[in-house]
Structure 1
């Protein structure tokens, strides 16, 4: 059978420009032996490659119902991330197309946890306003001194104690923080014990008692705007919110309102809805925020782990092996 036929080992790798585009995906072809790998920056870019693809690897690029309909040979959509909200799962199910993430690989966990603490420390120590003031020859210490705080002794509320959430909790122990968490189910007792006798709380109670809240939940229809205006109002005015998971977990306008009103001490945000954010996003101009452009999970080391994990699942699928981390 010709390699150009739909049943051949054709793989479409979709890497949008804001994730590095074709230059980032240039090395993928050599990781899938015996396959024809086409790297594009959107799934619409090469209709012929989409039509012939048996597998799509997507790095946060949308795979819509239209894309799935236009790919009659498609068997697998492999998300190069923990998240999978950018794939139309209903359309995939209707076509019996398997959708996988890299959830069990832990590829992103280390760096996302580090980015979480980078944001927490920047907020606690007022790093950004202090730096900006000094570049303008302004000795800001008298002005920011009352806003400086410590992590030690504070309660960190973790929303989602998966692989990333557990890495965040481990680091929190090194800062002598107390740990509370919430999620769909309670963690085993030995996990709680290893994490400093972490407390399992309902979400609303966790928001009320936490000094820092860090989001590590997947984005699903049930978790979209999980933190809306009502839930943000449960946070103490001295509390900080950190989101390194998905932008749409938070009502961004409501968060901007809370920061502007001073009912929340600050926020560290690495993820936005949409990405990249538009200039009209009020959160970009809100007070007491530290922002980063979705850098959690994209260090040199992390990208290698992500790529290897995603590609290995595709290689296994093409070889007839059952895929890992099936989400639909």
Structure 2
């Protein structure tokens, strides 16, 4: 009886589909979440795959993308004839050519919602750390006084899942909350957090003490914050970016910070990532930069990976994919 059960379990394990991931550790998947993938799939890491694409390519049905890797380039996709789905770890899919990937008969998924709390926490952490100069610059040229967060005016650019979570947290600091979004949220949503809608971005920039950018990277949002927008901000204003590095014109930001056009910037995202060691942003005492760790909590990562697994399993079984990204 025991032998039959063992053989049955072994047979089930052998029938697990194969998936491609970047690596385990370093910039790849944390070791403590690989077990979530292993429960359902055989894993091939990119380095191993590249050593023998002809052996591994035909059996791989799913690809788990983490920190933009493995990159969905034509040279890789052409080696994966059985590929059914690419699961992206994160919400933003600006690094993926969805129509092109779909042309291979491959679906694309992401992980919306699950990252909202951790990213909103990071936005508030950056805002607070910058306002209270928690981390001082080596040059000690930072103002000797701090700036009040409680009772100040917060402008949120992008009032989706994450932006709304930022507003919820800001309410606890009795902040006056302004927001700009493509679509105005419901009256109920606004009243719940005490937020006021700014139809014009310029109005938000002029009135805010802190501006938090939480938008997806699209052609319309690339360079959204540049020389003109920064010049509209208060000289005591702080820019916080937790979206994508390319949303902010970094050359314009450097000039604004050096000239005193704005007081400070706190960034969890840059372009590129990481910045070259000689980049001017790394030399300025009024800049706080973290290495894109907005979603980097153990709980959030495990939820993201589980969502990726669920998406891949659904695609492989021909079921409705919970978080499929449709080509526009």
Separation in structure 2 between the aligned mates of residue 230 and residue 16 of structure 1, nearest angstrom? 43
Deviations 1:111-161 (A, max 9, x none): 11111111111111111118x68xxxxxx8x97344x11112222111111
Which residue of the partner structure matches residue 125 of structure 2? 118
Aligned counterpart for 1:71 among listed residues 76, 80, 86? 80
Q: Secondary structure at the match of 1:290?
A: strand
Which residue of the partner structure matches residue 201 of structure 2? 203
Separation in structure 1 between the aligned mates of residue 86 and residue 134 of structure 2, nearest angstrom? 41
- Deviation, structure 1 residue 222: 2.1
Separation in structure 2 between the aligned mates of residue 88 and residue 277 of structure 1, nearest angstrom? 24
Q: Secondary structure at the match of 1:127?
A: coil
Which residue of the partner structure matches residue 10 of structure 1? 18
Are 2:272 and 1:292 equivalent residues in the alignment?
A: no
Preserved CA contact (<8 Å) 2:87 2:108: yes
Q: Secondary structure at the match of 2:35?
A: coil
Which residue of the partner structure matches residue 36 of structure 1? 42
Preserved CA contact (<8 Å) 2:24 2:34: no
Q: Structure 2: 5+ residue runs without aligned partners? A: 1-10
Q: Secondary structure at the match of 2:143?
A: helix
Q: Secondary structure at the match of 1:268?
A: strand
Deviations 1:58-77 (A, max 9, x none): 01223223333332222211
Superposition TM-score, scaled by structure 2 size: 0.85
Aligned counterpart for 1:55 among listed residues 48, 62, 68? 62
- Deviation, structure 1 residue 292: 1.0
Q: Secondary structure at the match of 1:219?
A: coil
Separation in structure 1 between the aligned mates of residue 229 and residue 25 of structure 2, nearest angstrom? 35
Aligned counterpart for 2:171 among listed residues 170, 173, 184? 173
Greater Rg, structure 1 or structure 2?
2
Separation in structure 2 between the aligned mates of residue 31 and residue 203 of structure 1, nearest angstrom? 47
Q: Secondary structure at the match of 1:220?
A: coil
Separation in structure 1 between the aligned mates of residue 198 and residue 24 of structure 2, nearest angstrom? 38
Aligned counterpart for 1:108 among listed residues 110, 115, 131? 115
Separation in structure 1 between the aligned mates of residue 204 and residue 129 of structure 2, nearest angstrom? 22
Separation in structure 1 between the aligned mates of residue 48 and residue 33 of structure 2, nearest angstrom? 12
Distance 1:233 1:15, change over 3 A: farther
RMSD between superposed Cα atoms in Å:
2.7
Runs of 4+ in 1 over 6 A off after TM superposition: none
Superposition TM-score, scaled by structure 1 size: 0.85
Which residue of the partner structure matches residue 244 of structure 2? 246
Preserved CA contact (<8 Å) 1:204 1:231: yes
Q: Secondary structure at the match of 2:90?
A: coil
1:217-256 to 2 correspondences below 5 Å: 217-256=215-254
Distance 1:29 1:301, change over 3 A: closer
**Which moved further from structure 2: 40-49 or 87-96?**
40-49
Distance 1:68 1:173, change over 3 A: same
Preserved CA contact (<8 Å) 2:314 2:321: yes
Q: Secondary structure at the match of 1:144?
A: coil
Q: Structure 1: 5+ residue runs without aligned partners? A: 134-139
Deviations 1:296-319 (A, max 9, x none): 101111111111111111122222
- Deviation, structure 1 residue 269: 0.7
Q: Secondary structure at the match of 1:54?
A: strand
Separation in structure 1 between the aligned mates of residue 44 and residue 124 of structure 2, nearest angstrom? 37
